[in-house]
Chains A and B, each alone.
Chain A
Amino acid sequence: MKPKFAMYWAASCGGCEIAVLNIDAKILDLDANFDVAFWPAAMDAKYKDLDAMADGSILVTLFNGSIRTAENEHLAKTLRRKSKILVAFGSCANEGCIPGLANLSSRESMLETAYGGPSTENPAQLRPQPTSQVPEGALTLPPVQPVVRTLDQVVEVDYHMPGCPPESHQIAAVVDLLVQVVQGRAELPPKGSVIGAGESTVCDECPRERNVKHLTQLRRIQELGPLDTTLCLLEQGLMCTGPATRSGCDARCPRVGAPCIGCYGVAPEALDQGARMMTAIASAIDAKEPEAIDGILDGIPDPAGTFYKFSLAHSLLRGGRAAHRETETP
Chain B
Amino acid sequence: MSLDTADASAASPAAASTEDTFAGISLRRLAWRRLKRDKGAMIAMGVLILVFVTALLAPLIVSVLGLSPYDFDNSALDPALGSLPAGSWGGVSADHPLGVEPLTGRDLLARLLYGARVSMFIALTAVTLIAIIGTVVGIVAGYKSGWVDTIIGRSTDLLLAFPFILMLIALSPVLTQRLEALGLSPENARIIYLVIVFAFFGWPYLARLIRGQVLSLREREFVEAAVASGAPTRRILFKEILPNLWAPIIVYVTISLPTLIAAEAALSYLGVGVIEPTPSWGKMLADSVRYFAVVPTYLFIPGTALFVVVYAFNVFGDAVRDALDPRTGRNLR
Q: Do A and B bind each other?
A: no
Measuring CB to CB, which residues of chain B are less than 8 angstroms from any residue of chain A?
none
